[in-house]
Amino acid sequence: MLYPISTRSTPTFFASILLLAFVCAGHVSAQSQPDERPKVKNFGSSLDRLKWDPNLNQAVEINAEKRKANASSDDIVTVNTNLVICSVTVLDQRGKIIPNLNREDFIVTENDQPQQVEHFSLGNSRDVPRTIVLVIDYSGSQSPFIKDSVDAAKVLVDKLGPKDLMAIVTDDIKLLVDFTRNKKELKKALDSLYEKSKKKDFGKSKQFSALMATIREMFTAEDVRPIVIFQTDGDQVFVLQPSMPPVFDMPTPPIPPAMREPFSLRDLYQTIERSRASVYTVIPGKRQIDLPDSRELPVVEPQAENQRTVLRTRPPSLVTWRQMAAAGAAIGGWTAYLQKPEDAPDIYGRILDDINSRYILGYYPSDKSRDGKRRQVQVEVRGHPEYTVTGRKSYFAPPADQ
């Protein structure tokens, strides 16, 4: 995960910048994190504000300028610097996690310019709260995996820290549980999905829409570590708008425009990339694709729109395309394949281990221009070129009008 803290913000957000500086240094007291947060209202409503523009080949925000003009200028505070936060995992040559590193071990560059790491903390620090959303597909195709997935997710709930918050979203674009620390409530909601599945009361297979709504609506400026666990087989992909150029050279089935969602797969990926969230994807079913690296998927990036993604094998079926679409959403995290229901506890355990083993690095970029452009970020471990550092490789600077 890598994201900038905006230089133009509300007074609440301004206060959060000061809070974040101490969070990254591990200096926040147990009383610093509020017990409650505003409840999410009308979950999914942000999708109603999207409209497909066939001329631009992208989703556009309806009345975006009008809403911006209606924002109260009295609530705007200007801050001179951006704080960029990146969350990384360090692996050895065998793919094992390297623990016990400190701030001085890391070298960070932005667009090839050295940066000074100002804030540092460990992923398992109880002083760094995590906000986790589980987006779970409980459609008919997922019924063989629901019981074990629910049981695995309940173990994840048990291991939440005292400051962590968790919410559950379903593939019918419903907020099953808003952010809470109430573990009994979370487990009860998970059990309800299994009970509904047993009665063949399945979800609606709108998992990409649910993910888009989650990224757009669920996180706030105060969320230091926003995380999404996205479990799905990706079977909504062919009712999204066609990406131009196609993502992964994916074919476009002849579905009437009126039956499609108001955004493309490319729109979704770019929304995730511009967000502050790390997404881990869990794909139930037999693995159909062989991408170069499940931790560093070749996700589509704007500067590479005219380049084709190189695959080791040619996709043989629609299932392959669905899995590729779901795997591509794992931006900032990685993808796991739930090939057997009984593998669910191990997969959720590995996700939690990865979250806990990350290093949280914060720096104020030397380039303070507000141009909205992509900034390439490289994180290395000093003296260890053989180590692999995973996490976001870029972020977008704030535009001039924000």
> What is the rounded average pLDDT for all residues in the chain?
81
Output the pTM of the full model: 0.80
pLDDT of residue 401: 67
pLDDT of residue 139: 94
User: So what's the pLDDT on residue 397?
Assistant: 83
**314: closest CA among 286, 291, 336, 346?**
291
CA distance 268 to 259: 18
CA dihedral 402, 330, 214, 110 (to 10 degrees): -20
Residue 10 pLDDT > 50: no
pLDDT at position 6 over 50: no
For residue 348, which of 277, 272, 280 has the smallest C-alpha distance?
280
Q: What is the pLDDT of residue 206?
A: 96
Residue 17 above 60 pLDDT?
A: no
Give the pLDDT score at 19. 34
Q: Is the pLDDT of residue 217 over 50?
A: yes
Which range among 88-92, 238-242, 272-276 shows the weakest confidence by mean pLDDT?
272-276
What pLDDT score does 289 carry?
72
CB count, 10 Å around CB of 349?
A: 14
Identify which has the larger pLDDT, 261 or 308.
261
pLDDT value of position 222: 78
Give first-to-last CA distance, the chain, whole Å: 22
Confidence of residue 402 (pLDDT cuts 50, 70, 90): low
pLDDT of residue 138: 95
pLDDT digits (tens, 9 = 90+) for 338-360: 989 999 999 999 999 899 999 99
pLDDT of residue 66: 53
Q: What is the mean pLDDT of residues 3-17?
A: 37
Instruction: Work out whether the CA dihedral 112, 113, 114, 119 comes out positive or negative.
Output: negative
- Report whether 185 contacts 97 (CB < 8 A): no
Instruction: Read off the pLDDT of residues 73-100 as tens digits, 9 standing for 90 and up.
Output: 333 333 345 788 888 999 999 989 999 9
Query: DSSP code of 233?
Result: -
Helix (H) or strand (E) holding 305: none
Domains of the chain (ranges; CATH) run 2-35+45-124+359-396 (no CATH), 130-357 (3.40.50.410)
Report whether pLDDT(291) > 90. Answer: no
User: Confidence class of residue 285 from pLDDT cuts 50, 70 and 90?
Assistant: confident
Q: Which of 124-133, 181-190, 316-325 has the lowest mean pLDDT?
A: 316-325
For the ranges 34-38, 43-47, 294-298, the lowest mean pLDDT is seen at 294-298
Dist CA 192 CA 198 (whole Å): 10
